Amino acid sequence: MKSKIDIKTSNLNIEYFDAIRFMEKKVEKILDNKENEMLWFLNHNHIYTCGTSANKNEILFKTNVPIIQTNRGGKTTYHGPGQRIIYFMIDLNKRKKDIRRFVSIIENSVISLLKEFDIEAKTFPKRVGIWIIKSQGKKLLKEKKIGAIGLRLKKWVTYHGLSFNINPDLKYYENINACGLKNYSSTSLKNLNINLSNKEFDMIFKKYFIKELSKI
């Protein structure tokens, strides 16, 4: 039987390691059947995080922004104000034990959200994340990344998750090869002339995610 999914929303910036500690404790409680699953919507302060498959060469320029090693999957990325984070503490023991399928659920939820604003996005087999290819009917000269995904599993309970660019300062991406990719740039809803609040984003994403998750 699938458990209830609680929704946690944080409007202040959450320190990265505080979030990690919270998720690790939450996962243990989910495994012990003491608490419900959870979606957590939040923001972080400026930080570069290097996942378990990151390479030191992905840091192009060192600045005063902290660079930390983390236990999520994936490579190097940026977090900061204006970027919405969603952490997924979901028990796949109660669903299909297929992490690739779960990643697709996150990707499809973002793609559906973007369609509401006449933005066309897609994924690529060899490039992690969600990529914009067309906005308001106009095709981009080259696709740009708007969302990154990095997850970790403990006994088939997920944690970590999605970072999505609503209106961050994109200059911070210039210091890294985001997700290990050279010659590609990032974008945001603001850069695509879409104004969306965190609350509006949370509501729309949750709608599509719950719908997609119910399929497994």
> What is the b/e burial string over 110-124, where b = at least 16 CB atoms within 10 angstroms of the residue's CB?
bbbbbeeeebbbebe
Mean pLDDT of the chain: 93
Q: Give catalytic residue positions.
A: 179
- Pairwise CA distance, residues 72 & 74, whole Å: 7
- pTM score, two decimals? 0.93
Q: Using 50, 70 and 90 to split pLDDT, how confident is the model at 216?
A: confident
108-138 pLDDT, tens digit each: 999 999 999 999 999 998 888 999 999 999 9
Dihedrals φ, ψ of 131, to 5°?
-120, 135
Q: Are the C-beta atoms of 187 and 141 separated by less than 8 Å?
A: no
184-202 pLDDT, tens digit each: 889 999 999 999 999 999 9
7-55 pLDDT, tens digit each: 999 989 999 999 999 999 999 999 999 999 999 999 999 999 988 878 7
Q: How many domains would you assign to the chain?
A: 1
Can you give the CATH number for the domain in which 61 is found?
3.30.930.10
Q: Are strands 37-44 and 5-14 parallel, antiparallel or unpaired?
A: parallel
Number of H helices, E strands in the chain: 3, 10
Domain carrying residue 163: 5-213
- Pairwise CA distance, residues 126 & 105, whole Å: 17
pLDDT at 180 over 60: no
- Pairwise CA distance, residues 146 & 199, whole Å: 18
For the chain, give the percent of residues with pLDDT over 90: 76
User: Mean pLDDT over residues 159-175, rounded?
Assistant: 94
